[in-house]
Structure 1
C-alpha cells in the first residue's frame, strides 16, 4: 500500500513482499516520517535491503530515484558540481519526472519528456546538460532499482552549430593602469577594492577564487598567492557559500608582481590594527562586514571606474583573459599560462585563446621574414 498519513501528522509505509529465495512473505512497515516523500524513500530502501531484488518494486516514483541519485552523487563529486546538478534537477527534471512511475516509463513517455525539453527556455548546451543528467539518473535507476534505461537512452542530443569564437574584450597593461589610477587608497576599504582588481588582472584568478583568498594564502617572501577554494555569491541552492575550486588543476600557487604584493602587504598592515584580525580572515572584505565583496559591488565598481578612465567596460571574467593576453604578448609559453590559469589541460588553453595564439604566430612569422630579408640584403651588399 502507498505511504499513508497518521493521526499525529506523520507518515508511515507498510508493504508485504515475497522473498525471492525462500518464497516467504516479508512484512515491511515503519512510521514516524515527516513527509510522504521520506516514507516512500524509506520504503524503497527497505525493499532493496530485504530482498536484494529491486525489480520486485511495484512502483518506483521518479522522485525516489532522483533522491537516491543525489545521495549517491553527494558522496562522489565535489560540492560545486553537485550544486549545478541540483539546479538542473529542481528546474526541470524533478517537475517532469518526479511523480512518474519509472517502472512503467515507455518510449512515449520519453518522447513527451523530450518535447518538454525542446520548449524549455534554456540554451542548447544547457538542454544537452539536462539530457545527460537525465540519462545518468536512469542508469542509476537501472543499476539500483531494476528499471530499464532504454527509452531515455534513445534520445539524441540537440545539434549545436558552432559559431566562430568571439574575440575577447581585454585590457592591455596601459589600459589597466588607466583603470587602476581611478581608484583611491585613502581608506582601508578603498585599498581593498583597488587591490582586488589588481589581483584579477595580474594573477588571472577567477572572481570566486579571488574572493575566496585568505591571508594565509598570501606568501610575501616568495611573492606567491595560493588558490585552493572559491567564494560564490549566487549558488542556486545555498546562496553565498565557500566551495572547492573548479577542478583539481585549479589548486595552484601563482607568482605575482611586486606592485600587487606591496598593495596586499599594505592592506594586511591596516587589517592587523584590528584586534579581531586572524590569518584565516578573507582578504577582500565588504565594508564593516567579515564576508567577501558582493558580486553586485564588484560589477558596479567595474562599470564606474571604466567610465572614469574613459575605457570600454570589460566583463569581470575578461580581466582573466587580459592576464592571458598580456602574458602571450610578453612571450610566455602556453604551458606556463595554462598552469597559471589553472586549466585542467593545455588543450583547453589552446581552444580558448586560439585567436591570440594565431595572431602571435603571425607576428613571429613576420619577424622571421624580416630577419631573413635583412641577412639576404647584407649578403648582397658584400
Structure 2
C-alpha cells in the first residue's frame, strides 16, 4: 500500500501527498510512477489514491500506449541517444532545428496517424522559410525511422513526399558571387586597422588574411600552436557554441588539420601581441605565460565568442568607410591572392584545408574570370600588331 506523507508547502502550511506505480512505459520499458500532492487532509489524499488504484485495476495501466505516442514523444527518445553520437554544437543546432521548424508542425500529433499529406504540407512550408529544408525533412524522417525500429509505427510518410524544387530567382546580380578583398583593398584595411593601434585585433585579422584560417580556427589557437622557431602554425581545433557556451572542438574534416608556414611580418605581430597580452592580463589578475594560454581571449581571459569579432570588423568599416566583407571572406581573400601570387591549386587546397578540390576550384574559377577581361589586351600588346 503506497504511503501517504505529510509535507510543508512554501508558505509553511501542511499538506499531504502520495506516489504510485502506474505501469511500464511501452516506449522505454521503464517503470513509471505518478505523484499527487496538495491535499489538505490525509483523508482527501487517501480517497484520491483509492480512485486512482481502481482506475488502474480497471484499465490495467495509466501509461500511454504505443498507438497514442506523439511525434514529440519519439523525438525525445531519439534525442537522448543522438546526443552520444554527435559533437555538442551539432546537438545544440539540431535541437533548435526541431524546436523552430519540426515540432510546431508535427510535435503534438500521434506519430502512427501522421499522413503523407501532413508531411508534404510541412515540407512545403519549410521550403518557403529556409534553404536547408531538405536537411529538416531528413531530420523529421529520422524520427519516423526510429519509431519503426521501436515498433511504435509501421510506416515513414516523410519518405513518400515530393521534394519541392528550389525557386530560381532571375536577377542581373550573381547571388553566388564570392566576395573578397583585392590586394589594394586588403592593404588599405590593414592600414586602417593599424591606425587603431590594438594589437589583438591586428593579430587576429593578420592571421585571417595571411593564413586563410577560419575565424573559429584562429580563435581556438593556443600559444603552443605557434612555432616561432620553425615559422609554422598548427591548426587542429575549432571553437563552437555548445549547450553551456563556447567549447573547443576537433575540426569537421581530417583535411582541416594542417600545419602551415607563417611569414616573418605575421610572426613579428604575434610576438608583440604576446608581450602586450602578458602585461594587460597580468594587470587584470591573469597569468598568461603558459603554453596552453589562448592567443585571443576576452576580459575574463576566456575564449572569445566567434560572433563577437563581427563587431571588430564593423567598427573599422564604419570609422574608415572601407569596403565591408564577411569575416569568412578573409579566407576567400587569402585564397584568391594565393592564386594571384602564383600558388598552384594543390598548394592552395592544402594550405586552406579544403576537403575537396571543388571548393578550391570555385574560388580559382572566380579569380580567373576576373582576369579574363585583360587577356585579349595583354595578348595584343605582346604581339605588338
TM-score (norm 2): 0.73
Aligned to 1:43: none
Aligned to 1:280: 292
The number of residues matched between the two structures is 330
Aligned to 2:256: 250
Are the aligned partners of 1:307 and 1:313 in contact in 2 as well (CA < 8 Å)? no
C-alpha distance after superposition, 1:275-334 (max 9, x if no partner):
622322221122x32123355652233123235544211111111111111011112122
Work out the CA distance in 2 between the residues paired with 1:320 and 1:162. Answer: 28
Pairing partner for 1:262 from 250, 262, 268: 268
Question: Which piece of structure 1 moves more, 111-120 or 148-157?
Answer: 111-120
C-alpha distance after superposition, 1:321-366 (max 9, x if no partner):
1111101111212222222222211122224553224445787898
Work out the CA distance in 2 between the residues paired with 1:28 and 1:68. Answer: 12
- List alignment gaps of at least 5 residues for structure 1: 1-6, 18-26, 34-55, 378-382
Pairing partner for 1:350 from 341, 354, 361: 361
Question: 1:371-382, aligned counterparts within 5 Å?
Answer: 373=383
Check 1:229–1:136 CA distance in 2 against 1; reply closer, same or farther (3 A cut). Answer: same
Are the aligned partners of 2:220 and 2:239 in contact in 1 as well (CA < 8 Å)? yes
Check 1:263–1:140 CA distance in 2 against 1; reply closer, same or farther (3 A cut). Answer: same
Work out the CA distance in 2 between the residues paired with 1:362 and 1:220. Answer: 42
Check 1:28–1:112 CA distance in 2 against 1; reply closer, same or farther (3 A cut). Answer: closer
Pairing partner for 1:208 from 213, 216, 221: 216
Pairing partner for 1:29 from 24, 28, 31: 31
Counterpart of 1:31 in 2: which secondary structure? Answer: strand
1:180 and 2:190 matched: yes
Pairing partner for 2:88 from 68, 79, 84: 79
Check 1:112–1:355 CA distance in 2 against 1; reply closer, same or farther (3 A cut). Answer: same
Pairing partner for 1:336 from 347, 350, 353: 347
Work out the CA distance in 1 between the residues paired with 2:206 and 2:115. Answer: 56
Question: Which piece of structure 1 moves more, 97-106 or 289-298?
Answer: 289-298
Counterpart of 1:270 in 2: which secondary structure? Answer: helix
Counterpart of 1:181 in 2: which secondary structure? Answer: helix
Counterpart of 1:125 in 2: which secondary structure? Answer: coil
Work out the CA distance in 1 between the residues paired with 2:114 and 2:187. Answer: 61
Once the 2 structures are TM-superposed, how far is the Cα of residue 368 of structure 1 from its aligned partner?
7.8
TM-score (norm 1): 0.73
Are the aligned partners of 1:124 and 1:160 in contact in 2 as well (CA < 8 Å)? no
Pair member with larger Rg: 2
Check 1:194–1:119 CA distance in 2 against 1; reply closer, same or farther (3 A cut). Answer: same
Once the 2 structures are TM-superposed, how far is the Cα of residue 153 of structure 1 from its aligned partner?
0.7
Aligned to 2:246: 240
Check 1:16–1:312 CA distance in 2 against 1; reply closer, same or farther (3 A cut). Answer: closer
Aligned to 1:92: 101
Q: CA RMSD in A?
A: 3.5
- List alignment gaps of at least 5 residues for structure 2: 1-15, 36-64
Counterpart of 1:240 in 2: which secondary structure? Answer: strand
Check 1:191–1:204 CA distance in 2 against 1; reply closer, same or farther (3 A cut). Answer: same
